Amino acid sequence: MHLNPLILGGTTEATALCAALDAAGISGTVSFAGRVRRPVRQPLPQRVGGFGGAAGLAAYLAAQRISHVIDATHPFAARMSANAVAACTAANVPLIALTRAPWQAGPGDDWTHVPDIAGAVAALDRPALRVMLAVGRMHLAEFAPNPQHFYLLRLIDAPDTPLPLPECTIVQDRGPFSVAGDLALMRRHRIDLVVSKNSGGTGAAAKITAARQLGLPVLMIDRPAIPPRAEAHSPAEVLDWLRHSGTARGV
Ligand SMILES: NC(=O)c1ccc[n+]([C@@H]2O[C@H](COP(=O)([O-])OP(=O)(O)OC[C@H]3O[C@@H](n4cnc5c(N)ncnc54)[C@H](OP(=O)(O)O)[C@@H]3O)[C@@H](O)[C@H]2O)c1
């Protein structure tokens, strides 16, 4: 069976999967949206940029004779994931998502759940705090209605345009992060509140552990809904699926 998988990437998990595929002697293509200026180098050939919606992705799958799609995007990349479900159904290409369980509050955690970014913005309509805002570069402007807070932003790339947040400090860094590092960062900036997407996984979990250890509240943004699809939770499971699921093309 000729395997020619497409990996929708942009996550630590996708990087681990590409390494596992390479180690297993399986090639394919990894795709990035192009949000990050210098994506982490992968052992597989890569492409960058949107496909042009579900129809564009379906056309790409056919043109490139893709045998399988592995959606290893971030759990908040809901549009890409929905497009993958629609395109794979239309093109009759097997799809699996490499997912990570959401974080769960445990003893010592002080979480308030909000359903989305707009909910986090609404919850920040309160007197000034020192906030670690860990929502990624794309959503920062949405926090403009609450300029009273100090915001600590950790970003892979500096923003292209000035931010509408008068009091903010940008730390440029790329995960995975350590608890010791995040404890020091939060102490240094005298953080009162952490705003986080419920990304799950290990790469970004340090700030949640650090918040617990410092007794800080967390405003936790719950995950967007994604249409049902097959799921795997490790690169090994994906490899097993690749080897055992029949390809739609029968090649
Ligand atoms: N959202 C987060 O918090 C977050 C965090 C860490 C990493 N990431 C990564 O950043 C990328 C973009 O995330 P997002 O939240 O902006 O996604 P999104 O809102 O679901 O996607 C918006 C559009 O970007 C394009 N796109 C997204 N991921 C792509 C990929 N891997 N390859 C090619 N095109 C892609 C697609 O364009 P077309 O419709 O034109 O195909 C998609 O419709 C993803 O690779 C994701 O894994 C996201």
Digit-coded pLDDT (tens) for 109-137:
999 999 999 999 999 999 999 999 999 88
Residues with CB under 6 A from ligand 1: 8-11, 31-33, 35, 50-53, 56-57, 73-74, 76-80, 83, 136, 138, 197
Query: Which residue minimizes the CA distance to atom 3 of ligand 1?
Result: 76
- pLDDT of 233: 96
- pLDDT of 39: 85
**Residue 1 pLDDT exceeds 80:** no
- pLDDT of 78: 97
When pLDDT is cut at 50, 70 and 90, the band that residue 248 belongs to is very low
Q: What is the rounded average pLDDT for all residues in the chain?
A: 94
Ligand 1 mutation target, pool 11, 69, 73, most atoms within 8 A of CB: 73
Digit-coded pLDDT (tens) for 21-32:
999 999 999 999
Atom of ligand 1 nearest to the CA of 199: 3
- pLDDT of 246: 59
When pLDDT is cut at 50, 70 and 90, the band that residue 190 belongs to is very high
- pLDDT of 146: 98
Digit-coded pLDDT (tens) for 226-237:
999 999 999 999
Query: Which residue minimizes the CA distance to atom 16 of ligand 1?
Result: 77
Ligand 1 mutation target, pool 48, 80, 83, 154, most atoms within 8 A of CB: 80
CA of 13 to the centre of ligand 1 (A): 14
Q: What is the 3-state secondary structure (H, E, C) of the chain?
A: CCCCEEEECCCHHHHHHHHHHHHCCCCCEEEECCCCCCCCCCCCCEEECCCCHHHHHHHHHHHCCCCEEEECCCCCCHHHHHHHHHHHHHHCCCEEEECCCCCCCCCCCCEEEECCHHHHHHHCCCCCCEEEEECCHHHHHHHCCCCCCEEEEEECCCCCCCCCCCCEEEEECCCCCCHHHHHHHHHHCCCCEEEEECCCCCCCCHHHHHHHHHCCCEEEECCCCCCCCCEECCHHHHHHHHHHCCCCCCC
- pLDDT of 24: 96
Determine the average pLDDT of the residues in 155-162.
90
Q: What percent of the chain has pLDDT over 90?
A: 87
